[in-house]
A and B are shown apart, each in its own frame.
Chain A
Amino acid sequence: MTTDAMSGNEPTRRGFLDLALGLLGAISAIGVVYPVGMYLWPRVDKKEGDETRSMKLPVGDVPIGEAKFVRFLNKPAVIMRPNEQEIYALSAVCTHLGCVVKWNDAGKDLFCPCHGGKFDVKGNVLGGPPPKPLPSFTAKIENEYIVVAEA
C-alpha cells in the first residue's frame, strides 16, 4: 500500500485516482437521485378556491339555519348563517387532530366525527378534546353575495 492521501502527506497518484473515482461516483449518484426525486415529488393540481385570499358566492348557496362547506385557502372551510343577521365562516379543520368537522343540524352547531369534539357557530369549543377554537374568517353579505376573507 502506498501512503493514504487522507493522511495529508504528499499527494499520491493513488490518492488522486481515489478522489476522482469518488467524484465520479458522487456525480452518478446525483444523476440518479435528482431525476427520481423530481419524478416522485407530488405536483398538486390547483383546485378552485386555492390561493385566493377571498372568495365570493351567491347568498342563496347558504340558506338560513344551514351550513355550506367550501374550499378556502387550500383547506376545507364552512360558512354558516344561523339567522338573517349573522353569518360566520370558519376553518373546518378540527383543532384536535385535523379531521374535517361536520354540521350538526339538530343542535345547529359543529361536531367532529373523529373524537367527538363540539364547536359552536363562532368556532368556540363546546366540548370534547379540541384544545383551541376553530380559526375564523371574516364573512359578510354584499349585494346578494357572501364574501369570505382572511381575518
Chain B
Amino acid sequence: MEMNTLELGPIKIKNRLLIRIFSALDDRLGLREILNDEVFEKISPAYLGLWSCFGGITFFLFINQVVTGMLVMVYYQPTIEQAHASVAHIMNEVPFGWLVRGMHAWGSNLMIVTIIIHMAKIFVHGIYKAPRELNWVTGVTLLLLTLGLSFSGYLLPWTQLAYWATVVGTETPAAMPYVGEYIRFAMRGGDDISQVTLTRFFALHVMIMPVTIAAVIGLHIAQIRRQGIAGPL
C-alpha cells in the first residue's frame, strides 16, 4: 500500500523516504490527525492584517530570548566579581558574542514594543470583551512577567547603570505603606544590593520567570485556539 504522493493540507510530498518516515510516525502517533486539526484547519482567516500579527511577533521574540539567553549563559558568570568581566568578555572576545548578546538585549526591548502594540490593538478593537476576558487577564500577566524578566535581566551585567537601576527599582515598592519595606528586603535579599541580590535576580531571570512565562504563554495560546480569533467589528 505504498503511496506515491502524500497530501497534507496544501502540502504534497513525493519523496519516498519522507513518505515512509511520515507514515511510520502517523501509524504510531496519529500525526495526520494532529496536523489536520491543529494546523491546516486553523489557517488564519484572510481578513487578519498586519496589526493582528503582533502577538505572534512577540512569541517569536520570546523564542529569540530563550535561544540567545541560553547562549549568553554559556559564558556569563553570576558573581559580583566576575559578572561585568564575563559580559565584557562576551562582547569583546567571544566570536559573535556581540551579536548574541546584542540580540538578547535588543530583543527584550523589542518585546516590550510589540506587546504594547498587541495590547493597543486588542484594546482599540474591543476584543478583550466577552467571551475573551480571561485572555486579557493572561495577557496582562504576560506583560508583567515580561517586565519582570526585563528588570531582573537589567541587573545581571553589574554595571553602574544596572546597579543603580536596581537600587531605584527596589526602592520604588518600598514607598508602599506597611508592606513596602518588606518587599524591598525580599527583593534585595537583605538591606543592600549584594551578591545575594545578584544570585536571586539570576535565578529569577534564567529559570523561575522563564518557566512561568512559558506556561502562561501556553495558556494564552490555548485560549485563543479554543475561542478562535476574533473577527473585525
A40 to B95, CA, bound (A): 8
Determine whether the beta carbon of B100 is less than 8 Å from that of A1: no
B96: Cβ under 8 A from any A Cβ: yes
CB distance from B104 to the nearest CB of A (A): 12
For residue B28, CB closer than 8 A to chain A, the reply is no
Query: How many of B's residues come within 8 Å of A, CB to CB?
Result: 12
Q: Which residues of B contact A38 (CB under 8 A)?
A: 95-96
Interface membership of B93, Cβ < 8 A: yes
Q: Are A39 and B71 in contact (CB under 8 A)?
A: yes
> A1 contacts B96, CB within 8 Å?
no
Residue B148 lies at the interface, judged by CB distance under 8 Å to chain A: no
- Check B14–A39 contact: CB distance below 8 A: no
Q: Does any Cβ of B come within 8 Å of A36's Cβ?
A: yes
**Inside 8 A of A50's CB, which chain B residues have their CB?**
none
Complex Cα gap A6–B14 (Å): 10
- In chain B, positions 136-157 with a C-beta closer than 8 Å to chain A are none
> Quick check: B99 and A35 within 8 Å, CB to CB?
yes
Given contacts A1-B5, A1-B12, A4-B14, contact A39 B93 (CB under 8 A): no
- Asked if A46 is at the interface of the complex by the 8 Å CB criterion, the answer is no
Query: With A and B bound together, what is the CA distance between A38 and B71 in angstroms?
Result: 12
- Chain B contacts for A47, CB-based, 8 A: none
- In contact, A39 and B5 (Cβ under 8 angstroms): no
Complex CA–CA separation, A36 to B93 (angstroms): 14
- B113 interface residue, CB < 8 Å from A? no
Within 8 A of B (CB), among A1-39: 1, 4, 6, 35-36, 38-39
CB distance from A105 to the nearest CB of B (A): 35
Evaluate whether A36 and B71 lie within 8 angstroms (CB atoms) in the complex, with A1-B5, A1-B12, A4-B14 already known. Answer: yes
Q: What is the distance, in angstroms, from B129's C-beta to the closest C-beta of chain A? A: 41
- Contact status A39-B12, CB under 8 Å: no
A39 and B99 alpha carbons, distance in the complex (Å)? 10
A36 CB contacts on chain B under 8 angstroms? 71, 96, 100
Tell me if B29 counts as interface (CB < 8 A to partner A): no
Question: Which residues, 89 to 108 on B, are CB-close (under 8 Å) to A?
Answer: 93-97, 99-100
Whether A35 pairs with B95 at a CB distance below 8 angstroms is yes
When chains A and B are docked, how far (Å) is the Cα of A35 from the Cα of B93? 14
Q: Is the CB of B5 within 8 A of A40?
A: no
The chain A residue sitting closest to B67, CB to CB, is A36
* Residues in chain A near residue B93, CB distance under 8 A: 43
In the complex, which residues of chain B have a beta carbon less than 8 angstroms from the beta carbon of A43? 93-94
Contact A40 B74 (CB under 8 A): yes
Give 1 or 0 for each of B81-123: 1 = CB within 8 Å of chain A CB.
0000000000001111101100000000000000000000000
Residue on A with the closest CB to B72?
A39
- Chain B residue with Cβ nearest A36: B71
A57 → B minimal CB distance (Å): 31
- Please give the distance in Å from A8's CB to the nearest CB on chain B: 14
Residues of chain B touching chain A, judged by Cβ–Cβ distance below 8 Å, are 5, 12, 14, 71, 74, 93-97, 99-100
The interface of chain A, by Cβ under 8 A from chain B, is 1, 4, 6, 35-36, 38-41, 43
**Cross-chain pairs A/B with CB under 8 angstroms, 10 sampled:** A1-B14, A4-B14, A38-B96, A39-B71, A39-B94, A39-B95, A39-B100, A40-B71, A40-B74, A41-B95
Task: List 12 extra interface pairs beyond A35-B100, A39-B94, A39-B97, CB under 8 A.
Answer: A1-B14, A4-B14, A35-B95, A36-B100, A38-B95, A38-B96, A39-B74, A39-B96, A39-B100, A40-B71, A40-B74, A41-B95
